[in-house]
Every structure is written in C-alpha cells, then in structure tokens.
C-alpha cells in the first residue's frame, strides 16, 4: 500500500465517523488511528456522554461485521465465548459460538462484569482465539475490541485487572460536549439516530492491508531508543508502582507508526511517539499511593517524564 493511500483511508474513516459523532474530533481521530493499527480501545467515562455511540460509529465506518455485548454482573464467560451443546439429532456435542465471533466487538460497560467474565476476553484480545472445553476456535480476522467502562467509583463496577488493561492499546475519556456542540446534538438528533449518518467507507481486506502497512513503517534506531528510554523511566519512576511493559511499549510503537501514517509519512519521528504516549500510558501506568493521595493521574506523570527526556533531533 502506498503512503498516500494509507493517509487517505485513515482520514476518510475519521471524516465519516465525525459525521455522526459530533463535537469530539480529537477523540475520533485517536480512535480511528488506533483501530487502523489493529489496537484494542478502552473508553472510560460516565453514562450518557456518547461512549456507545462512538463505538458503534467506529464499527460501522470500518465496514466490519460487529456485535455488541452488554456486560452485567450476572453475565457468564460462556455468554461471551459460546458453549458446547448436546445435539439430539446428531447425537454429539456441538459448539455454538458466542457474540465474540465477530470482526469487531463493542464491549459495553466492561467493568460491570465480574473478573471471571472479564477474563473471557483475555485470550481473544491477545491471540485472536477462544478455547472452550479444550478446543481452540479461531476468531474472524481482523478482530478488534472497543470497550467502554464506567468510572471505578460508580456503583456496580469491578476494577479491570492489570492483565486486562495491558491488552488495550489506548484509553481515553470523552467528557461532556461543549455548549455549542451540545446544542447541535440536541437539535439534530431529536428524531434521528446518529449512527444513521455513518456508512461503511472501507472493508476488512483493505483494513487488513492498511494495518500491515502501518506496522511495517520503519523507525530509526535513535527514535526507537528514545521510545525505550521513556519506557524505562516509567519503570524507575517513584511516582509509579508499575510502568510500561514490553507489550505496552509495542503498543506505543504501533500507535506511533499509525500517527506517522496519519501524517502522510513512511517513517516515525519523535513527535509521533510524544503524541501517542499519553493515550497509550493512561491505563497502563499504576500510580504510587503518594500520587493517588495528591489526586494525580497517569497522564500527569507521563507528561513529566516526556518533559524530562530529550528527544533525538
């Protein structure tokens, strides 16, 4: 795939999602760039700010077969992965795939389910497979998860374990719409569903080719070393209990490559890494008790590390 084509596809998807999801262009761009790179997304915010609408719009614009799973406290792992059921006519157990067997999954309010149910997505997100009763089943390709979660202090929520969080490539929050945009939303969508404005602008084959192109964008050794240095500083920071894992740095590199594609370049520059660092770090860095007492955030610590680390010229 040519660099110009990659940039054109990413911008086309972004524009299409923005037709239905109004007022948050930065978050839309970030989500599209991440999905085009094949990364899973976690959107955290309170109810009613558009998390589900954005996730649905992304799935629709990508032209993928998608399914929505509403996570609740009584949901079981088999409700997600599927299960084997006895067939009287064939006199044998047959596997019936669950809603995870789609190219894109909208996991709505993921942290309302207990840890046992959340763990049903671990293998799927990392390996693109599901194992039920000892039999491994391949998921469709590509396979992307767009998950939403409520803030941890909301009632009826369970904290996502670190192993689950580390499988998401990026995380961000939406927040409330600006007054001007909120007025337009209230006017435009009195009778219309926002998703009705969004149509598929790509297909699975083109998306897979785009993802391969993004992940093959080269990175010079000195720029790669800058990325590694940022990761090591998060691991050694007294403000953090845990920093970037190796998987986390791989996600950061992939997202940086995606920002390079968005910029129409076939190489990664330090600015790509700096732009990717905050959304890639937000859910992966675990704050120290002192930082929690001071009500600091992972983004605050990451911004400090970025300001203290010299980037290659």
- Token output for 90: 């064939």
Give the pLDDT confidence score for residue 307 in this predicted structure: 94
Find, among 120, 137, 187, 167, the residue nearest to 284 by Cα: 167
pLDDT for residue 262: 94
Does 182 score more than 90 pLDDT? no
| pLDDT tens profile 13-51 | 999 999 888 888 999 999 999 999 999 999 988 888 888
CB 109 within 8 A of CB 150: yes
What is d(CA 25, CA 23) in angstroms, rounded to the nearest whole number?
6
Q: What is the mean pLDDT of residues 207-221?
A: 94
Give tens-digit pLDDT for 63-114.
888 888 999 999 999 999 988 888 888 888 888 888 999 999 989 899 888 8
pTM of the predicted model as reported, rounded to 2 decimal places: 0.91
142 upstream amide cis, omega within 30 of 0: yes
Question: What is the model's pLDDT at position 9?
Answer: 93
Q: In terms of Cα–Cα distance, which of 118, 159, 125, 163 is closest to 142?
A: 125
Question: Rounded to an integer, what is the distance from CA 5 to the centroid of its chain?
Answer: 23
pLDDT at 34: 95
Q: Structural domains in the chain?
A: 1-73+99-208 (3.40.50.300), 217-313 (1.10.8.80)
C-alpha torsion 101→106→109→110, nearest 10: 40
Look at residue 45 in the predicted model and tell me its pLDDT: 84
Mean pLDDT across the chain: 90
Q: Which of 70, 257, 83, 232 lies closest to 147 in space, CA to CA?
A: 70
């Amino acid at each position: 795939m040519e660099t110009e084509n990659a940039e054109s596809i990413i911008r086309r998807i972004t524009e299409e999602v923005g037709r239905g999801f109004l007022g948050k262009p930065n978050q839309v761009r970030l989500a599209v760039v991440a999905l085009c790179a094949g990364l899973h997304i976690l959107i955290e915010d309170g109810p009613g700010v558009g998390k589900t609408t954005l996730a649905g719009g992304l799935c629709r614009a990508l032209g993928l077969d998608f399914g929505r799973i509403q996570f609740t406290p009584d949901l079981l792992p088999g409700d997600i992965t599927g299960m084997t059921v006895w067939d009287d006519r064939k006199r044998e157990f047959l596997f019936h795939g669950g809603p995870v067997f789609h190219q894109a999954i909208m996991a709505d309010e993921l942290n309302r389910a207990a840890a046992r149910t959340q763990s049903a997505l671990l293998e799927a997100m990392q390996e693109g497979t599901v194992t039920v009763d000892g039999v491994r089943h391949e998921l469709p390709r590509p396979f992307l998860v767009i998950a939403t979660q409520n803030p941890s202090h909301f009632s009826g929520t369970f904290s996502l374990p670190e192993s689950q969080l580390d499988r998401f490539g990026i995380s961000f929050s939406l927040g409330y719409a600006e007054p001007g945009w909120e007025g337009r939303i209230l006017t435009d969508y009195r009778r219309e569903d926002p998703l009705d404005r969004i149509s598929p602008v790509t297909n699975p084959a083109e998306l897979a080719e785009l993802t391969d192109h993004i992940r093959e964008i080269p990175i010079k050794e000195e720029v790669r070393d800058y990325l590694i240095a940022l990761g090591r500083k998060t691991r050694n920071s007294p403000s953090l209990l845990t920093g970037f894992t190796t998987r986390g740095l791989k996600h950061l590199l992939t997202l940086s490559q995606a920002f390079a594609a968005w910029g129409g370049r076939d190489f990664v520059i330090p600015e790509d890494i700096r732009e990717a660092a905050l959304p890639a770090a937000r859910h992966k860095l675990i704050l120290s008790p002192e930082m929690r007492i001071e009500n600091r955030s992972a983004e605050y610590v990451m911004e400090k590390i970025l300001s203290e680390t010299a980037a290659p010229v």
